[in-house]
Structure 1
Amino acid sequence: MNAFDPAALECLAALADAGSFERAAQQLSITQSAVSQRLRALETGLGRLLVVRSRPLRLTEPGKVLLRYARQMQAMRADMSRELGAALSQDERLPIAVNADSLATWVLPALDEVVLAGQREGYGLELVVDDQDFTHDWLREGAVLGCVSTVAEALRGCSVTPLGCMRYVAVASPGFVAQHLPQGLHRGNFATVPWLVFNRKDDNHSVWVGQAFGVHAPRLRERHVPATEAHARAAVMGWGIGVMPEQMAARWLANGELLALHPEVHVDVLLHWHQWRLSAGGTGQDGAATGAPQRAGTLDRIGRALAEGAAQALRPAAG
């Protein structure tokens, strides 16, 4: 089998998605034996182990390299179908990674038209959620075709577009302030009150405290609430101080259910859109197009939609 046989690459992508041979076979509507044979032929042709047979299975570094090409192949196939006006036999899966706060505020409205177009044209947009400092890892490993990330430098073979600045502010409920901060939040009490944290990757609260009080690596009392909207509701309910996007806090600040703490202090997170450069003529070793000019394909449409949505929702990068 050719090492870059489309069916073999599709099999590798299904294994990465499904995490097991059984579920990959179901996803591809073939037998589990056929999945094993395609993978074995791919590994034999390359002379490399591509998948570690664990539970869940995981890709080796060579497997991740091939997965990136498999994802690009899926996106180009969706483009070809759209340009030819042909319906795909099944929805092409076009995964992108976004941070949870962007997903909860501006990403869904930005992608609305793209998702509706996908329903008509036979491709399915899949959103993978991670912290904005880690979404880039999904792109590097080939698990997604694009990502919203704090990383500014493009990977080889990728393009990067600045999106704007997401500003984070510290807020708490009036009841919490009255009970825990009658004299306000200051250097003497910031370490004794609870702070709401999304997960162990989240450090916005620490960054905010560092900026507000000039403290390096502050030790804070953390209460983990690992869902964006639940995190905001916990602040409204008085569970602790939340450091959240100003877009999310706005309605509760407006109706008095939240109060801004030191409103002159804020954490500005610069976001960028990264995507693989796909071209009708393919890419060279440096990732540049080697054939026809780059098409305005499906992945480009996603990138444009996100850039337009971010321009309306986020602060300018220099703000």
Structure 2
Amino acid sequence: MLDYPSLAAVAAVVREGSFERAAAVLGITPSAVSQRVRGLEERLGAVLVVRGQPCEATDLGRTLCAHLDRVRLLEHDIAPALGGGVLAARERVTLRIAVNADSLATWFPAAAARFGAATDVSLDITLDDEAHTAARLRAGDVLAAVTAEREPVQGCRTLALGALRYVACASPAFARRHFASGITAQTLGAAPYLRFDRRDFLQARWAREAHGIELAGPVHWVPSTHGFLDMTLVGLGWGIHPRVMVEPHLAAGRLIELAPGHRVDVALYWTVTRLHAAALRRLTDAVRAAAGEGLVSAV
């Protein structure tokens, strides 16, 4: 049988990043937190927390923290029947999920708002590329994820949500400077463009599909969805943006769409662990409803 108070100390250290902040959250001293963590490690014969700035979980530590998350969600369902007993008195339950940045900047807040209005469970959202959020599930870091992977994850179910539609945009001044003679393989290949990070290949995909070329121009790295849009507006480079974010700027003439006839759709899925917890069901319902309103039908 696991020592859950000690496991809660491990989870708090990993979540907060230090023994001192974990102690403040748990309402005990840092020394008591350290004793609980060290005692559990000794009983299991394994290191659970790598001490550092911040502290991080080992593989076994992450597995046990994920187990604790599941236990807390299930306990949360039975807490009302205890009439304010020991489970009801515990810290607020947190549900850890992974979401890609563009979803978080567009349609996902509506899902979070629906969920927040229906439950007292907190969300702990991890940002990652949609092609990599499923890996967070496999590693046990989160209990659900918005992902571009339709392949099943063991112990989870995957639901199609729709597609986030992207358009290629540039500022009028940038277009006059770099595309005065039109958007050709030569001008597009030489024009500066934006990338979110090293895993962002949307610009390359658009250029290949729309013009049959491989991009070779200067790259500016902008790891923020809103910053990406701001840099496009000021003319640093051209880039691919969620259509819903740029529609007001296109209508106002602050941006122009490059090759309006060609857009990129990224199909998204909701992959959630098969845990029969009410909070996960409510979150899944909220995500599907928001996706139905904010995404386009996937082809």
TM-score with structure 1 setting the length? 0.85
Instruction: Read off the aligned partner of 2:96 and give its amino acid letter.
Output: P
Which residue of structure 2 lines up, in the alignment, with residue 109 of structure 1?
A: 110
1:156 is displaced (CA, Å) by 1.8
Instruction: Read off the aligned partner of 1:301 and give its amino acid letter.
Output: R
Matched-pair contact (CA < 8 Å) for 1:71–1:142:
no
1:166 is displaced (CA, Å) by 1.0
1:159 is displaced (CA, Å) by 1.7
Cα gap change, 1:89 to 1:60, in 2 (>3 Å):
closer
Instruction: Read off the aligned partner of 1:208 and give its amino acid letter.
Output: W
Matched-pair contact (CA < 8 Å) for 1:72–1:276:
no
Cα gap change, 1:30 to 1:97, in 2 (>3 Å):
same
Identity of aligned residues (%): 38
Number of residues paired by the alignment? Answer: 296
1:207 is displaced (CA, Å) by 1.6
Instruction: Read off the aligned partner of 1:39 and give its amino acid letter.
Output: V
The whole-number CA distance in structure 2 between the counterparts of 1:317 and 1:81 is 40
The whole-number CA distance in structure 1 between the counterparts of 2:181 and 2:72 is 58
Which residue of structure 2 lines up, in the alignment, with residue 49 of structure 1?
A: 47
Matched-pair contact (CA < 8 Å) for 1:68–1:141:
no
Instruction: Read off the aligned partner of 2:115 and give its amino acid letter.
Output: V
The whole-number CA distance in structure 2 between the counterparts of 1:313 and 1:273 is 14
1:133 is displaced (CA, Å) by 1.8
The whole-number CA distance in structure 2 between the counterparts of 1:21 and 1:221 is 44
Cα gap change, 1:12 to 1:137, in 2 (>3 Å):
farther
Which residue of structure 2 lines up, in the alignment, with residue 206 of structure 1?
A: 204
The whole-number CA distance in structure 2 between the counterparts of 1:83 and 1:182 is 70
Alignment of 1:210-225 (within 5 A): 210-216=208-214, 218-225=215-222
* Structure 1 residue matching 2:53: 3-state secondary structure: coil
Which residue of structure 2 lines up, in the alignment, with residue 236 of structure 1?
A: 233
The whole-number CA distance in structure 1 between the counterparts of 2:27 and 2:73 is 20
Cα gap change, 1:186 to 1:300, in 2 (>3 Å):
same
How big is each residue's C-alpha offset from its partner over 1:82-133, in whole Å with a ceiling of 9 and x where there is no partner? 6767555432222211111111111111221211334xx3x22222222212
The gaps in structure 2 that reach 5 residues or longer are none
1:244 is displaced (CA, Å) by 0.7
Instruction: Read off the aligned partner of 1:158 and give its amino acid letter.
Output: C
Which residue of structure 1 lines up, in the alignment, with residue 92 of structure 2?
A: 91
The gaps in structure 1 that reach 5 residues or longer are 280-294
The whole-number CA distance in structure 2 between the counterparts of 1:256 and 1:268 is 23
1:8 is displaced (CA, Å) by 2.6
* Structure 1 residue matching 2:46: 3-state secondary structure: coil
1:171 is displaced (CA, Å) by 0.8
How big is each residue's C-alpha offset from its partner over 1:60-98, in whole Å with a ceiling of 9 and x where there is no partner? 222222122122123223333367675554322222111
Which residue of structure 2 lines up, in the alignment, with residue 301 of structure 1?
A: 282
The whole-number CA distance in structure 1 between the counterparts of 2:126 and 2:285 is 19
1:21 is displaced (CA, Å) by 1.7
Cα gap change, 1:158 to 1:11, in 2 (>3 Å):
farther
Which residue of structure 2 lines up, in the alignment, with residue 292 of structure 1?
A: none
Q: Hey, which bits of structure 1, 4+ residues long, moved more than 3 A?
A: 81-90
Instruction: Read off the aligned partner of 1:146 and give its amino acid letter.
Output: A
Instruction: Read off the aligned partner of 1:172 and give its amino acid letter.
Output: A
Alignment of 1:100-249 (within 5 A): 100-118=101-119, 121=120, 123-216=121-214, 218-249=215-246
How big is each residue's C-alpha offset from its partner over 1:211-237, in whole Å with a ceiling of 9 and x where there is no partner? 223235x33311222221221122222
Which residue of structure 2 lines up, in the alignment, with residue 285 of structure 1?
A: none
Cα gap change, 1:50 to 1:89, in 2 (>3 Å):
closer
The whole-number CA distance in structure 2 between the counterparts of 1:85 and 1:34 is 29
* Structure 2 residue matching 1:168: 3-state secondary structure: strand
